[in-house]
Amino acid sequence: MKLADIPVHAAAPADPLDGFRWPTDDFTRTPYRVFTDEAIYQREMERIFRGPVWNYLALEAEVPEPGSYKTVQIGNVPVVVSRNMQGEVTAFVNRCAHRGATVVRQEFGRAEGHACIYHQWNYDSSGDLCGVPYRRGLNGCGGYPKDFKPAEHGLQKLRVALYKGLVFGSFADEPPELLAYLGTNIVTHLDRIFVKPLKVLGYHRQRISANWKLYFENIKDPYHAGLLHTFMATFGVYRSTQKGHTLLSPGGGHAVVYSVTNTDSVESVVEAYQGTDNKYQTDFALQEPGLLQWSPDFHDGIGNLIVSVFPNMVVHQILNTFATRQVRPLGTGAMELYWTYFGFEDDAAERTAARLQQLNLVGPAGYISMEDGEAIRLVQQSITGESRDATSFIEMGGRGPIVDADHVVTEVCTRGLWQQYARTMGFAPEAAA
Amino acid sequence: MSPRERVQELQLRYAHAIDDDALEQWPGFFTAEGRYRVIPRENHARGLPACLIDCRGVAMMQDRVASLRTANIYNIHFDRHLLSPPLVEAPEADGTVRARTQFLVMQSDQSGVSKPFATGVYLDVVELGGDTARFRERTVVLDSYGVLELLATPI
Ligand code: FES
Ligand SMILES: [Fe+2]
């Protein structure tokens, strides 16, 4: 080879993931490697969480006053949600623009500004840099160059969009319009819940030894609910034989799954659970049935509703409990699930008490949700070491088009998730891309 | 026995019952109207009421045991409760005693690997009768509120 033939700029080495494609174009299979592959994880952080999506950040009610802030995690990036002194909700990356230290160290608080402890760069409540010590030096020594412009060294900002008390953030320069991103089905069901000012009741946090997408799969899968969560099958809070709906967003990544209570009969339940490990026990009754006493907040009979928005938000209504859940990835094999419980500001004391009582049902210790963490942990544990082409099997409810269903015996929302995921990641089979 | 010794005896019996998987005994450590709560420290500190577990009365505790035994599916594990000596206040006029006690719960799995699972403080109100001692209130303030996997059996 002559010297002149050697290209001056070597082409960037090809990303080995560029050839990776989903095995089926209706997303009835998911390669297990997406739950364990470090390179895929890194691409998710970039293309999904820092990509053209809206991430769920917080509730406006959590940052009620000028200066109120809280810290969250979007993908693997620490973010501060802050209501600035002008009253607008802002969000910025919690990483000093000087040399990278965490600026805001408290989980929650109220402050007019934030000073980095390392060299005391001072930021205002919007994350703009407003002061730097020794800027012109000390006693004629040191100081920043004359062309140093504080306006160019603020904390990295996210775009923020609000909808009915929910705060969303995006790293994209030109994110899609929020309501178009959510789609009609999601907006309709958010509209149903977020009807008036909220009152935050507290938090649950859960560390699950599973990939974040296993949780997202789980939450979009109403088929497991009556089978894994025996408490529900036994007490009629929710059963797969109840009437329900499974609704998707245009890209498939968001879903609404709900069921209407008391729409099944004992006979249909007994029949449905034949062949299972005796999930339905007609003789099992609570000594304190008050736990399941439900005085509906709305008059549509919906007792169990899960709204999930790609990539990190879940909103639930289970009887009288409401919560948002933020999905926070912690590497390929772990995640934090962050639950924010709320009621309404105008709730009477008894209504608040009922909501609090029903928290026994949900969260990491909840009668009808403790199993989810265990189920997906078991998946993560056993797929580690699988061959690179091994896949799961997702055909409950059929193959083919990813469309709404008027029942909940389906995994179609799970396929919808994989469709949007694969397209965002550049993994879609050509036919679906 | 002094009030302090009686409180400590109650706490130790409670801990051993759970660690020996004798969950059926657990509600019996409370008065009929007793309250058992596990509250994340972050909620407790900020005056937010949400609990992880909140049982009002023995019946709700018995329901929890029944559900754990027959309905719920959770990680198969063994607990060890390690307790500090209780810090006991002087008995109140009605015979109740307040106590604070540090705890650490280690959890072991079927492969014999043990991990610190939960730590925090018990805030107890104990009712001392003639020869009985029972919890009127047991509030578990959980420092480890980033719950590892899930919380099934009582702390
Ligand atoms: S790293 Fe923040 S001021 Fe230096
Ligand atoms: Fe579930």
Alpha-carbon span A23 to A33, nearest angstrom: 12
Is A281 within 8 Å of chain B by CB? yes
User: How confident is the model at residue A16, as a pLDDT?
Assistant: 87
Specify the pLDDT at position A272.
Answer: 60
Q: What is the pLDDT of residues A349-363, one digit of tens each?
A: 999 999 999 999 999
Map residue A377 onto helix, strand or coil: helix
In total, the C-beta contacts within 8 angstroms joining chain A to chain B are 116
Tokens representing residue A218 in the block: 């789980």
* HSE value, Cβ hemisphere, 13 Å, CA-based, for B73: 17
* pLDDT-based confidence at residue A225 (cuts at 50, 70, 90): confident
Which amino acid is located at A45 in the chain? M
Between the alpha carbon of residue A288 and those of residues A11, A317, B57, B70, B126, the distances in Å are: 69, 22, 9, 16, 23
* Phi/psi at A411 (5° precision): -110, 20
Which residue out of A62, A206, A237, A350 would a mutagenesis test of the B interface target, given it has the greatest number of B Cβ atoms within 10 Å? A206
Which residues lie closer than 8 Å to A4 by C-beta, 6 or more apart? Answer: none
pLDDT at residue B26, as a whole number? 98
Mutation test of the interface with chain B: which of A68, A199, A204, A326, choosing the one with the most B Cβ atoms within 10 A? A204
Pick from A205, A230, A375: which is nearest to B146 by CB?
A205
Give start and end residues of each alpha helix (H) in A67-139: none
At residue A280, does pLDDT exceed 80?
no
Kindly determine whether residue A206 and residue B149, on different chains, have CB atoms separated by under 8 Å: yes
Query: Tens of pLDDT along B28-53?
Result: 999 999 999 999 999 999 999 999 99
* Interface TM-score (ipTM) > 0.85: yes
| pTM attached to this predicted model | 0.94
Task: Tell me how far apart the alpha carbons of residues A157 and A81 are, in angstroms, rounded to a whole number.
Answer: 10
Q: How many residues does chain A have?
A: 433
Residue B22 pLDDT exceeds 80: yes
Q: Can you give the pLDDT at residue A433?
A: 46
Looking from the CA of B16 toward its CB, the CA atoms found within 13 Å total: 6
**For residue A97, how far is its CA from the centre of ligand 1 (angstroms)?**
7
> What pLDDT digit, counting tens, does each position of A286-311 carry?
889 888 888 999 989 999 999 999 99
A135 touches chain B (CB under 8 A): no
> Which pLDDT score, from 0 to 100, does residue A141 have?
94
C-alpha–C-alpha distance, residues A149 and A82, integer Å: 23
pLDDT at A236 over 90: no
